[in-house]
Chains A and B, each alone.
Chain A
Amino acid sequence: MATHAQEDMVKNYRYVPEDFMKHLMGTLGIVSVLVLVLAGLFGVPEQPPLTIQNNAIQNPVAFEAMTTRDLNGQGRMANYGPPYNNGTGNLEFVFQKWVGVLHPLNAENDFIIKPLRMAATVNPAITPPLNAFESASPAQQVAWANNYETALAKGTVRNGVVVVPAGNYGPVPALMNDTLKLGESGLMSGALIRNPSVVTRFNNQNYQLFLEGDPLHNAAASLQLKGTQWGIQHSAVVGYPGAWWMTIPTWIYQWPFVANSPAADAVALSIGFVFWLALALTPWIPGWNKVPRYLGVYKLVWKDFYYRQTHPAAGKGDDTRGVS
């Protein structure tokens, strides 16, 4: 094996003087100028986030549809699965189940009931519908929420309140309009980012996940950021580069059998990992590790060296061989 490697390399080459420190300072200088100029000219792309407050103000009916789905278990997070809860909505792979619930999230309680309990201390009118909802059976709660979610298709906004045709919704319309008000106030984010044990607020999980579902997906679609739109490749601000180094995994996501798989993420990332393995193990893969030899691009890289080899007179001037 060693002999073979020897055969695949030239041996008759010289060492030439080199100022390595100058080389390093040179590349650092090039990069420094490059990034300073680019930063000065183009700044940094920032697309304002979608806040709960903005979403509540701009799309009140859709906002209530989203929060209602936290009550009937149809919301993306309500029925997600590990590591947030024991749902099955986003359960792709057995590994996911083994991990268990590491970051507990109960959408109904954490997103709706607890924030409303806090808001009720400021506005006691919230308490009666909240009590009515909590004292009803789970089946009744889901039935009310299902009815209300359906009715929201015909929902309109009147005097800042979402109104639907009359029906059997129990206290749900009152609760959802209170949730909407809380969202519009801007206080919802504070109600979601809570940990009474510490004063730091590093963990914003529930704030980020509150809008998971239609609000975030619709906002992302209009910016070409969804997975099916080669999203990670795109910056949120048109004209800027995104994470273009994710081209191969993003491409895999577009393959029809991957895109249509219920475990699209697990499949795409696993295939992407195989691609990386093929790259990482290139030196050990027979045949594949010979490809550059046959492609011949190396002839361009070492053009000058080969020229000197075949024209010995061209390379004279330094005879420090084989030492460094």
Chain B
Amino acid sequence: MANWTTASRKALTEAMSVDTWLPEKMPEYAQGFMYMLGSLTASSFVALIISGVVLAANGPASWSYNGADRFAAAVHFWSVQAFFFFMMLHLWRVFFTGAWRGGRRETWLLGAVAMIVAIPTAFTGFLINGDFYSQWNAVQAKDGLNALGLGWVNLPNAGQMFGMHVVVLPLTLSLIIFGHIYRVRIKGVVPPYPITQEAATSKEAK
């Protein structure tokens, strides 16, 4: 790579282009509810960020004595349920449609990484909530992490969990989700399988 700046300019031109992010045309097959599931997942993540920022701004445990914060906590709770619900539906859709075809393998991989990072992101949120579910799972789940040699993540330490849940994990997850969506936009949505292999081949032969 001769010139890093030239290469960066080239990459960023595509990455920051409105054509990439705000398409005015879509393939005809990418229509309907099945093609809303990814956006519904991303929208749930936006709801998580907004309600999470409200909660973080007011400080841990403020929901326990402030009604408005308790409502924000409830929105945050149902947003995470929505996030995983739509993510799972999206996962089924992309699996059943073989969405890794045509140079989209890394897109799939990033989605899978987003899913596995989302799990501790959600879990650390449960841990800093402070109710019995928090208390029990902090103490119970520590054994698994410790056994795997990941004991530096000390689940019973709510301070560390706060930093993990509010900064480290959501920031990581945001970057992965960004990469996933970026690749979806760059590579486009996977075209359908030919209905029969023979039909497709004969059409191409013409």
Residues of B within 8 A of A309 (CB): 195
A246 to B157, CA, bound (A): 22
Q: Closest residue to A201 on the B side, CB-wise?
A: B159
Q: Are A39 and B75 within 8 A (Cβ)?
A: yes
User: Interface readout for B20-61 with A: 1 if CB under 8 Å, 0 if not?
Assistant: 001111111101101010011011101100010000000000
* Cβ contact within 8 Å between B25 and A208: no
Q: Is the CB of B82 within 8 A of A31?
A: yes
The answer for the CA separation of A34 and B102 in the assembled complex, in Å, is 35
Complex alpha-carbon distance, A111 and B135, angstroms: 18
CA–CA, A266 to B147, complex, Å?
Answer: 5
The answer to whether residues A265 and B36 also contact, given A298-B193, A308-B28 and a CB cut-off of 8 A, is no
Residue of chain A at shortest CB distance from B131 = A46
Q: Is the CB of B148 within 8 A of A93?
A: yes
B23-A324 in contact (CB<8A): yes
Decide if A16 touches B25 in the complex (CB within 8 Å): yes
Task: Quote the shortest CB–CB distance from B191 to chain A (angstroms).
Answer: 4
Stretch of A62-70, A168-176, A183-191, A225-233 with 4 or more beta carbons under 8 angstroms from chain B: A225-233
Report the stretch among A112-120, A136-144, A278-286 that lies at the interface.
A278-286
* Beta-carbon contact of A269 and B144 below 8 Å: yes
**Known interface pairs A204-B158, A289-B98; A83-B19 also in contact (CB < 8 Å):** no
Max chain A C-beta neighbours (<10 A), residue from B148, B150, B190: B148
Chain B window 56-95, contacts with chain A (Cβ cutoff 8 Å), 1 for yes, 0 for no: 0000000100000011011111110110101010000101
**A311 beta carbon closer than 8 Å to chain B:** no
Find out whether the CB atom of A11 lies under 8 angstroms from the CB atom of B116: no
Question: B133 touching A47 by the CB < 8 A rule?
Answer: yes
Closest residue on chain B to residue A297 by CB atoms: B96
CB of A157 within 8 Å of the partner chain: no
CB–CB A284/B105 < 8 A:
yes
Known: A45-B77, A226-B140; 11 extra A-B contacts, CB below 8 A, are A9-B101, A9-B192, A13-B191, A20-B22, A34-B78, A39-B78, A44-B70, A93-B149, A96-B149, A243-B123, A283-B108
Q: Which B residues contact A (CB, under 8 angstroms)?
A: 19, 22-29, 31-32, 34, 36, 39-40, 42-44, 46-47, 51, 63, 70-71, 73-79, 81-82, 84, 86, 88, 93, 95-98, 100-105, 108-109, 112-113, 115-116, 118-119, 122-123, 126, 129-141, 143-144, 146-152, 154, 156-160, 162, 188, 190-195, 197, 200-201, 203-204
Q: List 19 A-B contacts (CB under 8 A).
A: A8-B193, A10-B29, A10-B192, A15-B26, A16-B25, A18-B24, A44-B73, A45-B131, A83-B146, A202-B162, A205-B154, A205-B157, A216-B139, A226-B140, A232-B141, A265-B148, A282-B100, A292-B96, A324-B19
